[in-house]
Copies of this chain bind each other. A is one copy, B any other.
Amino acid sequence: MARERLRVTLSGATGETGAEIANAILDLSDTFHLTALARPASANKPEYENFKKRGASIIVADLGTVNDHLVSILKGCDIVVCAITLEGLDPRPMNNLATAAQHAGVKRFIPSLFGPVCPPRGVALIRDLKEDMIDHIKNLNLPYTLVDVGWWYQMSLPAVPSGRLDHLLVFPITTITGSGNVECAMTDKRDIGRYVARIIADPQTLNRSVFLYNEIWTQNKLFDLVERLSGETIPRQHETQEDLKLKIDSAKKRWNDGDETALAPFVMMAYYYTLWIRGDNTPAKARGLGYLIANDMYPDIKSTSLEDYVNGLLDGDIGRIYVGRR
């Protein structure tokens, strides 16, 4: 008799990270059955129809409260993966999903971290909020695995002067933060799903933090690489630590004063501070925070090198993120 498949419920399946996880889980249909939770407002997205064709169940669910319907959906589910973004910094949808998972007796909950390694509290706002959500999970005695990932290739590349990458880069990097010599673990967003599919089914990772990444780069080396592969010279502006600090403080103040438009730059600049000034996002720092390293555990997973990724962009084989194209 065949072993029963693991029942995975995924929230946020149409997001950038969630879609990678959904695809990887659907590719392993002998191991997993996927249920994707759709918000009422987004139940008609074509992505869900596509997941359904590949064997997923789609259920419309409201994460606005801990409701009986939500609990009943999660009953019998082995693993709940939450890949929703912290929209409006509101932790309640994820906290409600965790609480419902606990009521339903779910065996493992994966909260929506999927970010860089960063010490808890006081360094980057988004991390602080995520730590509060981790505390909520621990308070529930809900079994968990915490997954963080290298900074995306997709968020790290400079444009080139000819403009031929402009339509592919959502966040072109125009300025090198600090010296440009700080090491940072990076990942191709498209590789996250395959690691996550291994991590969530692995008994070793229960109640542990796991970090996955592809390669370690500095900003200077990354600019060198794009120059070499494109044959173009990229202007290099550096922003000092002090300037970045001042901008962070200013954005934070504006945001505290009620200017909602200051939130996104505040969040992003705080990330740049931890990534490129403090150098928190490395496997060594992850080990220091008690993480397991997925690359050590699953050496058979072949991930994309930054060089291959940049070549793919230059050759037109790889598209833009945030447009539903992979």
Contact = CB atoms under 8 A, between A and B. Distances in A.
Interface of A: 119-123, 131-132, 135, 138-139, 141, 143, 207-209, 280, 285, 287-290
B289 A207 contact: yes
A139 B121 CA distance: 8
Nearest to A131: B135
Q: Which 4 residue pairs of A and B lie closest in terms of their CB atoms, listed nearest first? A: A119-B139, A119-B138, A207-B290, A121-B135
Given A122-B135, A135-B122, A290-B290, A141 B207 contact: no
A115 to B, nearest CB: 15
Given A121-B135, A135-B120, A141 B288 contact: yes
A289 B119 contact: no
A207 B135 contact: no
A280 to B, nearest CB: 8
B288 A143 contact: yes
A143 B290 CA distance: 9
Contacts of A138: 119-120, 288-289
16 contacts: A119-B135, A119-B138, A119-B139, A120-B135, A121-B139, A122-B135, A123-B139, A131-B135, A138-B289, A141-B280, A141-B285, A141-B288, A207-B287, A207-B288, A208-B290, A209-B290
A271 B262 CA distance: 42
A122 B141 CA distance: 13
Given A119-B139, A131-B135, A138-B289, 16 more contacts: A119-B141, A120-B135, A120-B139, A121-B132, A121-B135, A122-B135, A122-B139, A123-B139, A138-B288, A141-B280, A141-B285, A143-B288, A207-B287, A207-B288, A207-B289, A209-B290
Contacts of A143: 288
Contacts of A120: 135, 138-139
Contacts of A141: 119, 280, 285, 288
A143 B284 CA distance: 11
A13 to B, nearest CB: 27
A209 B208 CA distance: 11
Contacts of A290: 207-209, 290
A132 to B, nearest CB: 8
Contacts of A285: 141
Contacts of A135: 119-122, 131
Nearest to A208: B290
A288 B207 CA distance: 6
- Of A119, A132, A280, most B-chain CB atoms within 10 Å: A119
Contacts of A122: 135, 139
Contacts of A131: 135
A138 B209 CA distance: 14
Nearest to A143: B288
A280 B119 CA distance: 26
A119 B123 CA distance: 23
Nearest to A284: B141
A175 to B, nearest CB: 26
Contacts of A280: 141
